[in-house]
Chain A
Amino acid sequence: MNLDDRAAIPPEVLVRQLGEETVILDLASGTYFGLDESGTRIWQLLQQGATLREVCNAMLAEFDAAPQDIERDVLDLARELSGRGLIRIA
């Protein structure tokens, strides 16, 4: 996985936003997953087709955090979502 990758959301993944947070259902496994406020923003940007680098840049503009922390958080979440089958990296 690198910063030029984009994510696709499989059709069997259902998403609902609850306030500033998000819950996700993977119909294939029947498991739920929750995203906090920053995770929700990352998900929204990925859903819009942004590369991981573009996600990092947008998060840097919106959240008060160091660039290296944002890059680590974005990559960690993308790996976790990919590992759970909730996104496909392309």
Chain B
Amino acid sequence: MTGIDLDLAPARRQRTLRSPVVTEWKLHGRSHARIHRTREGFLMRFPQVADFHISRDGSHVSTRPAPGVETPSLYNVYLSQVLPMALSRRGRLVFHASAVEVDGCAIAFMGASGRGKSTLAAAFATAGFPFLTDDGLFVEVANGAASVVPGHPSLRLWGDSGEALLGPEPGLEDGKSRILSGDRIAHCTTPRPLRRIYLIDEADDAGIAIGPLAGAPAFTALAAHSFLLADGDARLLEGHFEGLAALAGAGLCASLRYPRRYERLAEVRAAVLADSRSPRA
């Protein structure tokens, strides 16, 4: 499975860090998180939210929240951003993507934040196709075959997406809410062979378009949406490169362009189902 226990320390105000910065994540041009190299491994700092310590081998994660940060917020950050990085230290292939189960196989939706990965996963889940993951897509490649390992049994949806797909739901807020699997949205709990990866393009009001994506462009797209905390570790870099090349060369990738309108989601789902059930070109 994909879990690593998270050890929680009491809240404390964040102190200035002097350890070297390995990488920095920016969101809308502003620093969102910094990863520092420490004696024991790495420290991921989310300003005003929490510090997460990741052991060098990725087997252990602990956190110290900033004062006033609530536990659900802490776990959201952990599941969607810290755990994938920790797993990448263990040589796992992890992507910024959601996935659902169709006909016993996994189909994944990959793309930048706000492209609709969670909404698509929810659109399938509410139509009887259990979701495998929302926050991070864990892929295993063995003997030339790729499979998806289930992630956390919850979907994170914006309030309007949640209401459009699930109807009025207790706990849905204007911002993003985490909705646990249950009677209305089932979670697939066993690994499934990976059949397709849809790279979500920018919105297109003209219609729904699915096209093949192969070779170097597929590799580049997969790399852009993958998590990797290599910090110069040649073994991790090589494993990541081989994994991406295997996926890009397997003919699993396709581009997906569609209008971002809730009333068109059923059409998008039908188009994806038809494509995923068709033989590869």
Contact = CB atoms under 8 A, between A and B. Distances in A.
B218 interface: yes
A1 interface: no
Given A18-B248, A19-B249, A23-B248, A32 B215 contact: no
Given A18-B214, A19-B214, A25-B237, A30 B219 contact: no
Nearest to A36: B216
Interface residue tally of chain B, by bracket?
10 to 19
A21 interface: yes
A45 to B, nearest CB: 18
The 7 closest A-B pairs by CB, nearest first: A34-B216, A21-B215, A21-B216, A16-B245, A25-B241, A18-B215, A19-B215
B253 to A, nearest CB: 11
A22 interface: yes
A18 B237 contact: no
Given A23-B245, A30-B230, A30-B232, A18 B219 contact: yes
A14 B220 contact: no
Chain B contact residues: helix, strand, loop or mixed: helix
Contacts of A20: 215
Interface string A1-26: 00000000000101010111111010
Contacts of A16: 241-242, 245, 249
Interface residue tally of chain A, by bracket?
10 to 19
A12 B206 CA distance: 46
A18 B220 contact: no
B238 interface: yes
A35 interface: yes
B9 interface: no
A23 B216 contact: yes
Given A19-B249, A23-B245, A23-B248, A34 B219 contact: yes
